[in-house]
Amino acid sequence: MKTSMDFRSVRLAAGLVLLLSAVLSLGSLLPQQGVFSVSPFVVTIVGKYLSYAFLALAIDLVWGFAGILTLGHAAFFALGGYAMGMYLTREIGARGVYGNAHLPDFMVFLSWSDLPWYWMGSEHFAVSVLLVLLVPGALAALFGWLAFRSRVSGVYLSIITQALTFALMLAFFQNGLGFGGNNGLTDFKDVLGFDLHQARTRAALLALTGVFLAGSLMLARWVVSGRFGRLLVAVRDAESRTRFMGYRPDHAKLLVWILSAMIAAVGGAFYVLQVGIINPGEFTPGNSIEAVIWVAVGGRGTLSGAVLGAVLVNFGKTLFTAWMPEFWLYGLGFLFIATTLFLPCGLVGLVGSMGGRAGRNARTDPTPELVEPGRDEE
């Protein structure tokens, strides 16, 4: 697949994300039953879509630009979620079912006497934010370093990313791991002293999600539009050639891989804040594959397409599961098949090529589609 380095749509997407989140969060503060008022349900569900969009963006960075088809990226998303969930769990304090000020409910239930060492510091918001970035980042660094160094690539890499998230899922289902086993972390009360159930808090969270998503989009755009982005594309299309030019493709991949894991993790953190629960189900291998299809639907290698795909597919899922739940899997299944067969460049690619065709007719240049438009963006 060839990517034209056209990132004009990224700014547009970032702007739309900001607009959407701002309008919805303001609308939710208006008195209910008003014309422009937004129900709390919509705020939560859009917050969820936008959190998933981080994951899609992260996948597009590595799949679209470095050719790494990850089938385990939801693991980083979930780890970010757990890191944030730990802080929120500590915030519950003595308001839990057992009223234990030092231990989360599930630990009391397991009759543990002390917090495990890896929960130390989780009561501080700043530490948790660091953990959100560092834990998935460190796992990605370790995994990526091993995989890219030994030149594991293509479907082999896809399969071991699946195995990675599967192993994590099994581990997090264990009660003994200290993350709430089956139930995960939930029943959160507040964040930084703000009540999570209050409309104002939720509106602010949605707005923040929008700001961070737009920021991540622009960050990703900055990463891929520069010289490093060109190296990534070179690595994606002819990895061994870059080696003979003195590049270390494994280092390039590792860098974007870690960055991508961190973006996914931020999504996980926003997800927990708004959805209010994180459990081992998020590690299910199927989740990661589903996230890949969001990217494929929106358009691989476009960044904006990833966000668009995540929101659209999940919106479709909400509609489907409400109206005719038994058909959702058919819908999703056909979406996978149809996208790969008929829409290899995704929706953004479709729009782009329609726009390109319109412009081409006006010009006389024999090979205008190969003119690289991203250059004047610099």
**Which residues in 190-249 contact other proteins (CB under 8 A)?**
223, 226-228, 230-231, 233-234, 236-248
Query: Measuring CA to CA, which residue among 101, 274, 71, 104 is closest to residue 179?
Result: 104
Spatial contact of 73 and 284, defined as CB atoms under 8 Å apart: no
| 174 forms part of the interface with other proteins (CB under 8 A) | yes
Nearer to other proteins, 101 or 146 (CB): 146
Q: Does 324 bind other proteins (CB under 8 A)?
A: no
Residue 144: count of CB within 10 angstroms of its CB: 24
Give the position of tokens 């500590």. 90
Quick check: 340 binds other proteins (CB under 8 A)?
yes
Cβ closest to other proteins, residue 1 vs residue 30: 1
Question: For other proteins, which is the closer residue by CB, 217 or 296?
Answer: 296
Residues 62-91 contacting other proteins, CB under 8 A: 69, 71
- What residues from 350 to 369 belong to the interface with other proteins (CB under 8 A)? 367
The correct pick among 322, 326, 358, 363 for binding other proteins (CB under 8 A) is 326
- Give the one residue of 310, 339, 345, 348 binding other proteins; rule: CB under 8 A: 339
- Tokens 């959100």 locate to 132
The DSSP secondary-structure symbol of 179 reads: S
Cβ of residue 70: shortest distance to other proteins, in angstroms?
A: 11
Q: What distance in Å separates the CA atoms of residue 222 and residue 198, rounded to the nearest whole number?
A: 36
How many CB atoms within 10 Å of residue 26?
15
Q: Where are the alpha helices (DSSP H) in 31-124?
A: 40-66, 74-92, 105-109
Q: Please identify which residue in 35, 94, 155, 362 interacts with other proteins, judged by CB under 8 A.
A: 155
Chain residues 106-145 in contact with other proteins, contact rule CB under 8 A: 143
335: left (phi > 0), else alpha (psi -120 to 50), else beta? alpha
Q: Contacting other proteins (CB under 8 A), which of 152, 196, 208, 350?
A: 152
Give residue 140's Cα distance to chain centre: 14
Dihedral of the CA atoms 332, 336, 342, 345 (nearest 10)?
A: 110
How many residues of this chain interact with other proteins, rule: CB under 8 A? 78
Residue choice 109, 119, 125, 173 for contact with other proteins (CB under 8 A): 173
Residue 167 found at the interface with other proteins (CB under 8 A): yes
Report, in Å, the least distance between residue 116 CB and other proteins: 16
Comparison of 125 and 166: residue with beta carbon closer to other proteins? 166
Residues in the chain: 378
Which one among 26, 160, 211, 218 touches other proteins, defined by CB under 8 A? 160
Q: Which is nearer to other proteins, 50 or 59 (CB)?
A: 59
Q: How many CB atoms lie within 10 A of CB 267?
A: 31
Measured distance CA(53)–CA(307) in Å, rounded = 5
When binding is defined by CB under 8 A, the residue of 99, 116, 286, 355 that contacts other proteins is 286
Instruction: Please give the Cα distance from 273 to 264 (Å, whole number).
Output: 15
Q: Does 35 bind other proteins (CB under 8 A)?
A: no
The answer to the question of residue 153 lying near other proteins (CB under 8 A) is yes
